[in-house]
């Protein structure tokens, strides 16, 4: 006699470990490198400000997304708001934030690498999560997946409900996580200052 096993949520620990390792490697690399454009040049300032804007988009996007799924990610199927235009808005906005952090350093190359690594990690994670979601929600998820992009959003699909409930604890947790993105800016500024004053050596330059 066979018994069915209830689908289990995807374990996020491996993804978090990979992200932490990549983030640590990026920080170490930035300690000994500088952007090709001079830190006082207009080009550097523009690239840096674009990065700040993308990081802010990431923060507000993640807060917007968590209003629709916070505390209910594995118990209810979110299909409205940001989840109506992409199945993984949290991962999308996090990838935008990673790209923005690279630009805040003043390097397009670093931005592309961070954005690409984030996209690959979140793409793998989302595919694994789909196994759980299909087992949990069945045909409802199949219908949702057939009409909504996995990652890159389609704004023409946007739809919303007249009322929502949200989890204050999940919203606060996401807000605290967002502060980590903002904390990167003074860290990068501090590293740039140490390079300019000669306290940190520069071994290579990045465009």
- What is the C-alpha separation between 114 and 99, in angstroms, rounded? 6
Residue 140: pLDDT above 70? yes
Report the C-alpha gap between 16 and 188 in whole angstroms.
22
Give the percent of the chain with pLDDT over 90: 26
Measuring CA to CA, how many Å separate 169 from each of 73, 104, 174?
Answer: 13, 30, 9
> For the chain, where are the alpha helices, taking DSSP H only?
13-31, 42-69, 89-104, 108-137, 139-147, 168-196
Domain boundaries, the chain: 45-206
Is it the case that residue 74 has pLDDT exceeding 70?
no
In the chain, what percentage of residues exceed pLDDT 70? 80
What is the C-alpha separation between 58 and 62, in angstroms, rounded? 6
Distance CA 118, CA 128 (A): 15
Whether domain 45-206 has CATH 1.20.120: the reply is yes
Residue that wins the pLDDT comparison between 161 and 9: 161
User: Does 18 score more than 70 pLDDT?
Assistant: no
Q: Please check the confidence at residue 54 and state whether its pLDDT lies above 80.
A: yes
Which residues touch 162 (CB under 8 Å, ≥6 apart)?
none
At 82 the pLDDT is 94
- Residue 125 pLDDT greater than 90, yes or no: no
147 vs 17: which has the higher pLDDT? 147
pTM of the full predicted structure? 0.82
Question: What is the 8-class DSSP label of residue 6?
Answer: P
Segment 153-159 mean pLDDT: 94
Euclidean distance between CA atoms 183 and 9, whole angstroms: 31
**8-25 mean pLDDT:** 59
On the question of pLDDT at 160 being above 80, the answer is: yes
Tokens 């629709």 locate to 68
Say how far apart CA 54 and CA 49 lie, in whole Å: 9
- Please report which confidence band the pLDDT of residue 3 belongs to, taking 50, 70 and 90 as the band edges: very low
Which has more confidence, 5 or 199?
A: 199
């Amino acid at each position: 006699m066979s018994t069915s096993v209830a689908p289990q949520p995807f374990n996020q620990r491996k993804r978090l470990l990979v992200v932490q390792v990549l983030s640590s490697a990026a920080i170490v690399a930035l300690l000994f490198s500088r952007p090709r454009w001079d830190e006082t040049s207009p080009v550097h300032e523009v690239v840096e400000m674009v990065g700040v804007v993308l990081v802010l988009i990431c923060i507000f996007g993640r807060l917007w997304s968590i209003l629709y799924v916070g505390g209910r990610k594995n118990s209810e199927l979110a299909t409205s708001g940001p989840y109506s235009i992409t199945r993984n808005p949290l991962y999308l906005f996090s990838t935008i934030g990673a790209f923005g952090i690279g630009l805040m350093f003043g390097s397009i190359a670093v931005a592309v690498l961070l954005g690409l690594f984030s996209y690959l990690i979140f793409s793998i994670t989302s595919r694994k999560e789909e196994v759980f979601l299909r087992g949990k929600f069945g045909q409802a998820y199949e219908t949702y997946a057939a009409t909504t992009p996995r990652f890159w959003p389609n704004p023409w699909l946007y739809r919303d409900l007249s009322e929502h409930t949200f989890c204050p604890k999940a919203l606060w947790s996401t807000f605290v996580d967002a502060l980590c993105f903002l904390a990167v800016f003074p860290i990068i500024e501090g590293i740039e200052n140490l390079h300019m004053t000669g306290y940190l050596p520069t071994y290579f330059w990045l465009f």
